[in-house]
Amino acid sequence: MRKIDTLLAEYAVSHQTKLNIAIHYICVPLIFFSLIGLLASIPIPNVITNTLPVFLMPYAHLGTIVLIFGLFYYLKLSKTLFAGMLFFSVIVLLAINYVSLFIGIPLWLSMLIIFVLAWVGQFIGHNHEGKKPSFLKDLQFLMIGPAWTMSHLFDALNIKF
Domain segments of the chain: what residues? 3-156
Phi, psi values for residue 60, rounded to 5°: -90, 85
How do residues 94-138 score in pLDDT, each as one tens digit? 999 999 999 999 999 999 999 999 999 999 999 999 988 888 777
pLDDT of residue 33: 98
Distance CA 149, CA 127 (A): 19
User: What global pTM score does this model have?
Assistant: 0.91
DSSP code at position 67: H
Average pLDDT, stretch 39-47? 88
